A and B are shown apart, each in its own frame.
Chain A
Amino acid sequence: MPAVSKGDGMRGLAVFISDIRNCKSKEAEIKRINKELANIRSKFKGDKLLFIFLLGHDIDFGHMEAVNLLSSNKYTEKQIGYLFISVLVNSNSELIRLINNAIKNDLSSRNPTFMCLALHCIANVGSREMAEAFASEIPRILVAGDTMDSVKQSAALCLLRLYKTSPDLVLMGEWTSRVVHLLNDQHMGVVTAAISLITCLSQKNPMSSRPCVFSLQIVSSASTDLQDYTYYFVPAPWLSCKLLRLLQCRLVECLETILNKAQEPPKSKKVQHSNAKNAILFEAISLIIHYDSEPNLLVRACNQLGQFLQHRETNLRYLALESMCTLASSEFSHEAVKTHIETVINALKTERDVSVRQRAADLLYAMCDRSNAKQIVAEMLSYLETADYSIREEMVLKVAILAEKYAVDYSWYVDTILNLIRIAGDYVSEEVWYRVIQIVINRDDVQGYAAKTVFEALQAPACHENMVKVGGYILGEFGNLIAGDPRSSPLVQFNLLHSKFHLCSVPTRALLLSAYIKFINLFPETKVTIQEVLRCDSQIRNSDVELQQRAVEYLKLSSIASTDVLATVLEEMPPFPERESSILAKLKKKKGPGAVSVTELDDSKREAGELNGGGERAAETASTPSPSADLLGIRSSAPMSAAPAAAGSLLVDVFSEVGPAAPAAAAAAVNNDVNPILLFLVTFKLALSLSRFVCKNNGVLFENQLLQIGIKSEYRQNLGRMYLFYGNKTSVQFASFSTTRLCSLTLCPQLNVQSKPVEPLVEGGAQIQQVLNIECLTDFSDAPLLNIKFRYGGALQNLTLKLPVTINKFFQPTEMASQDFFQRWKQLSQPQQEAQKIFKANHGMDTEVIKAKLLGLGSALLDNVDPNPENYVCAGVIQTKGQQVGCLLRLEPNAQAQMYRLTLRCSKESVSKRLCELLSEQF
């Protein structure tokens, strides 16, 4: 138990610290601390508690006692109390009000020592509560005439801290102009403290002091006194101009002096001497770069830094490389920086400190232009082989950017990027390989070379997955350009790609599948081989749904589509819109060392056109006004292509990335149907005719001046038969009459429609008949299309209709009693099983009409089930080949509001939805 008296208390701490230091283990330390904590609880000792906290142990008591110490009159206690508060009290402590009270007392005590303690505490805690309490008090202390120098210093920096945390609470006022006067103080300490405050204030306030503090100070303070010199409300304009000019001259003079001093022999061998001197030198150089208008100074600065590049102090080499990076961006010093290229390359190779090597790599990137790009890119590539893992990704991005920006011939560009993938494949982000593909697609002069090079690169026994991606994409697009050579014949290309297939991840495999279907279009002779691959179980039954879907759809596409359709759908990719390089956007997102160089890159865009060797490429480096942060700048472009991407749907790499320039219909084609144009024609117009046939099976499907088409259909279980009657309304013969059924890719596996061809001639006034056999395999939402072509008087007539085959046609009515109905209704209680719609009546609400429609729907209309006789309930089973889907329906009319509420509950979610859609258009 520590003694109570003051002196013993102090020794108590010393003994305690010694004890802690003598503890052999962490456990022993904790034990000793717990013992002491118990002591402290019984008799509070702030200093010991503090020591325990600083050791890294949590302290959850004693705060109150520490606050009490603040009000002590004994200096030692007060001091410990303040230290305790500064270190321990979190800025959001609830004790803050009590603390603030104690501080307020000390601030008004007029005892400079106490005042300083209080100010230090405010500066150390610096919370918003403190700013609220003291933001108006401290400026008063700061500018009061009778405040001691030491208090002024503390007050100035204390105010700065509060301003940094809560700038809104520190109000500018009359004191602001008086603060500027502190710069004239005799006491250098006061000036040092004040200049920190003023620099910060002037960055955010137009108050007084831009860099020309001293001169403007005269002007602003004179504004009230010098009425005679105020010229049309402008205080002393002539004087201001002269002062600013003087400042400009003095500035250059002053900077020159600093540069000269750097050449003088050192006055001491101590490192502190050179450090202090060079600190000023670097600050001066940063000012020279900032003004960027004195070529002479910029070049001198560059030469000075050049000397440091070979200095034996690592710190100086580091700083010289760093400063040179910014010098490289100035047009005046860019050339001067370039002269040091060999030294910098050497630094990249030989520096032992990775952070210095990083600076060297940054500088190489910054000094790169068309004249030295090949050398620099080569050096960076070879550095990449041994580069620190932490910086590889950034290095890769930089090499990719330089290669693109300064590419004179694009074969060099392609070589560089492929090398990049070879050397550091893991660090090549998507943006990089996307970009090489964009560029290859946009430049026909490099496509053949690219195909040849990737083909060669893929022959390496182990090649990176990114290489496979690029290879797959490029061969899929441009494999034909090298197919003439028997060594890279279509089959050889395919086998090469397919040999990598099994080692790749799912996204790459998906991309390869797309490459395969493109091969089928490029080289019909590979069709059989590729179809075989697609057909094998590992593809068509792949457990990954994306791969399976691709395999199924591509297989189907390749077997049912005509070569014309295939060629349209699988056409070569259209050029990508020229946009900001996706890599550049990525580098910009990265913080840190790259940031400087990127700014430089932006600045240099004015010369980009020239450096890139043509205005055409300039568009790429210039940033676009739209915030196109998307990778290739394509995902968000056209709604057509955005839809499948968002749905995580098929064909993402080949089709959804086609962008706005691509034929929009092609995207739609793959998304919805085989023939794009047809789809476009029918969608809207025929939606109506489809809806007419939901509740009836017979009627006129289509009629114009030439042709009338009537239908009659019957359905049993999951099978249906549809009779189509084509009537020629004219007196002239229709020639080459033909019909084609079209099922979309999604519909094909759901609905099977078979028909016999019709007779090619339809005489005037005659009618021919066609029978369609329909089999429902599983539930579906789309309708099959029918395309009709014939010649009338030499002109080709072409029209497409939606066939009114809807899911409800396969309804089998189910009779059941009220009790059964509600029991089943309750069983189908999962939220997704129910679909409900409330809608306005489009037709009259005649009971008989509604009943007829519900009967036409195919389900059983049940009487005496719903307690409300106004309501209608139906029950039925939808028969598909694979399964039976039970459906319950309830329609509640509200005659007053002329509204209906329709509720469907089916054992399959998609059926509920589809039926609800279909039916809500009927009433």
Chain B
Amino acid sequence: MQFMLLFSRQGKLRLQKWYVPLSDKEKKKITRELVQTVLARKPKMCSFLEWRDLKVVYKRYASLYFCCAVEVQDNELITLEIIHRYVELLDKYFGSVCELDIIFNFEKAYFILDEFLLGGEAQETSKKNVLKAIEQADLLQEVRHKTLRRLKLYSRIGREM
């Protein structure tokens, strides 16, 4: 995998993870271009598109688009399921995840992703093991901060599963 982007239906970037060295300028350019392309596609269209010399695999969960760029020889369907597994992980951790969870706890979203994917490859695909690692890390934290639960709205990402 070359990179992963999460963005909202309005085109706001919520998470970005780059597995190839690129300049900030280039990253911004790619993000702008891809967000536009993906948002322009209709719901019934297929989840894969050829983009530059890469394949882009994307899926929409509620208000959020999850978008991965993989190399041409990579397996599209399994990439689609990588996205899904990540959503499951977020859902399990936050308990019915919604976009706000990812906004307010963006660092957690990054930590979970790091446990699941590293350097663009699947590191640990077991849901149980990933969450165990995150929970252990949480135990080390002096303060748990789940103060924002009350802010949750109804657009739960997990509902789409």
User: Which A residues lie at the B interface, using CB under 8 A?
Assistant: 6-7, 10-11, 14, 17-18, 21, 47, 50-51, 54, 56, 74-76, 79-80, 83, 86-87, 90-91, 113, 116, 119-120, 123-124, 126-127, 150, 153-154, 157-158, 160-161, 164-165, 188-189, 192-193, 196, 272, 275-276, 278-279, 282-283, 314-315, 317-319, 352-353, 355-356, 358, 591-593
Contacts A6-B142, A50-B107, A79-B107 given: A126-B119 contact, CB under 8 Å? yes
List 15 contacting pairs A-B, 8 Å CB cutoff, sorted by A.
A6-B142, A14-B145, A14-B147, A51-B106, A76-B141, A76-B142, A150-B124, A161-B120, A189-B126, A192-B123, A192-B125, A279-B80, A352-B45, A355-B49, A358-B50
The distance from the CB of A169 to the nearest CB of chain B, in whole angstroms, is 14
Proximity string of chain B (134-160) to chain A, C-beta cutoff 8 Å, 1 when within and 0 when not = 001100111101011001000000000
Report, nearest first, the 3 A-B pairs whose CB atoms are least far apart.
Answer: A161-B119, A279-B77, A75-B140
Whether A75 and B21, one on each chain, are in contact in the complex, defined by CB atoms closer than 8 angstroms, is no
Most A Cβ at <10 Å: residue of B23, B119, B141: B119
Does B33 reach chain A (CB closer than 8 Å)?
A: no
* B144 CB → nearest A CB, Å: 10
**Most chain B C-beta atoms within 10 Å of own C-beta, residue among A7, A21, A90, A315:** A315
B129's partner among A47, A189, A276 (CB-CB below 8 A) is A189
Nearest residue, chain A, Cβ from B24: A90
Contact status B48-A318, CB under 8 Å: yes
Contacts of A47 in B (CB 8 A): 107
Q: How far is the CA of A272 from the CA of B140 in the complex (A)?
A: 34
In the assembled complex, which residues on chain A have CB atoms less than 8 Å from the CB atom of B28? Answer: 56
Known A123-B118, A165-B21, A355-B45; judge A319-B125 contact (CB<8 A).
no
Given known A-B contacts A6-B142, A319-B76, A79 and B46 have beta carbons under 8 A apart: no
B residues 15-38 near A (Cβ < 8 Å) are 15-17, 19, 21, 23-24, 28
- Structural contact, A74 and B142, CB atoms closer than 8 A: yes
The reply to whether B119 and A160 contact each other, CB–CB distance below 8 Å, is yes
CB neighbours (8 Å) of A356 from chain B are 45-46
Q: Are A279 and B53 touching (Cβ within 8 A)?
A: no
What is the minimal beta-carbon distance from A9 to any residue of chain B, in angstroms?
A: 9
A120 to B116, CA, bound (A): 11
Given A14-B104, A91-B21: A353 and B46 within 8 A (CB)?
yes
Chain A min CB distance to B48 (Å):
6
Residues of B with C-beta under 8 A to A74? 142
CB distance from B40 to the nearest CB of A (A): 11
Chain A: CB-nearest residue to B79: A279
Nearest-neighbor residue (CB-CB) of A189 within chain B: B124
Chain B interface residue bracket vs A: 35 or more
CB neighbours of A54 from chain B (8 A): 13, 15-16, 106
Beyond A126-B21, A315-B47, whether A75 also contacts B137 by CB under 8 A is: yes
1/0 per residue, CB under 8 A from A, across B95-136: the answer is 000000001101100110010001111111110010001001
Give Cα distance in the complex from A353 to B42, angstroms. 9
User: Shortest CB–CB separation between residue A329 and chain B, in angstroms?
Assistant: 16
Are the C-beta atoms of A150 and B75 separated by less than 8 Å? Answer: no
Residue from B21, B103, B119, B124 within 8 A of A192 (CB atoms): B124
Knowing A113-B136, A355-B48, the reply to whether A189 touches B125 (Cβ < 8 A) is: yes
Q: Could you say which residues of chain B place their CB within 8 Å of the CB of A591?
A: 53
**Which of B48, B121, B137 has the most A CB atoms < 10 Å from its CB?**
B121
A165, B18: Cα distance in complex, Å: 13
Which of A75, A80, A358 has the most C-beta atoms of chain B within 10 angstroms of its own C-beta?
A: A75
How many angstroms from the CA of A126 to the CA of B50 in the assembled complex?
Answer: 26
Q: What's the minimum C-beta distance from A93 to chain B, rounded to whole angstroms? A: 12
Check B77 against A193 for contact (C-beta < 8 Å). Answer: no
Question: Which residues of chain B are near A592, meaning CB under 8 Å?
Answer: 50, 53
Chain B neighbourhood of A6, CB < 8 A: 142-143
B118–A275 touching, CB < 8 Å: no
B118 with A76: CB separation less than 8 A: no
Residue of A whose beta carbon sits closest to that of B21: A91
What A residues does B48 contact at CB under 8 A?
315, 318-319, 355
Query: What 13 additional pairs, Cβ within 8 angstroms, besides A157-B118, A319-B77?
Result: A14-B145, A50-B107, A56-B13, A120-B114, A127-B21, A158-B118, A189-B129, A192-B125, A275-B84, A315-B46, A315-B76, A352-B45, A355-B45
The one of A86, A124, A165, A189 in contact with B123, judged by C-beta atoms closer than 8 angstroms, is: A189
Complex contact B77–A276 (CB within 8 A): yes
Chain B, residue nearest A199 (CB): B121
Chain B contacts for A21, CB-based, 8 A: 103
Closest chain B residue to A157, Cβ basis: B118
Residue pair B121, A160 in contact (C-beta under 8 Å): yes
CA distance A741 to B123 in the complex (A): 87
Determine the chain B residues whose CB is within 8 A of the CB of A75 once the complex forms: 137, 140-142
Task: Say whether A192 contacts B143, CB under 8 Å.
Answer: no
Are A315 and B77 also in contact (CB < 8 A) when A75-B137, A83-B107, A91-B21 are?
yes
The smallest C-beta distance from B106 to any residue of chain A, in angstroms, reads: 6
A442 to B159, CA, bound (A): 67
Which chain A positions have C-beta within 8 A of B118?
119-120, 123, 153-154, 157-158, 161, 193
Give every chain A residue within 8 A of B75 (Cβ-Cβ): 279, 282-283
A189 to B118, alpha carbons, bound, how many Å? 12
A421 nearest CB across to chain B (Å): 28
Contact with A along B65-99 (1 / 0, CB 8 A): 00000000001111011001000000000000000
- B78 CB, nearest partner CB in chain A, Å: 4
Q: Across the interface, do A192 and B107 meet the contact criterion of CB distance under 8 Å?
A: no
**Which A residue sits closest to B132, measured CB to CB?**
A150
Residues of B with C-beta under 8 A to A189: 123-126, 129
Tell me, in angstroms, the Cα distance from A188 to B136 when the chains sit together.
20
Q: A14-B104, A279-B77, A593-B50 are contacts. A79–B114 as well, Cβ < 8 Å?
A: no
Q: Is the beta-carbon distance between A315 and B80 smaller than 8 angstroms?
A: yes
Choice from A11, A51, A153, A318 contacting B46 with Cβ under 8 Å? A318
Contact B124 A123 (CB under 8 A): no
Question: A76: nearest residue on chain B (CB-CB)?
Answer: B141
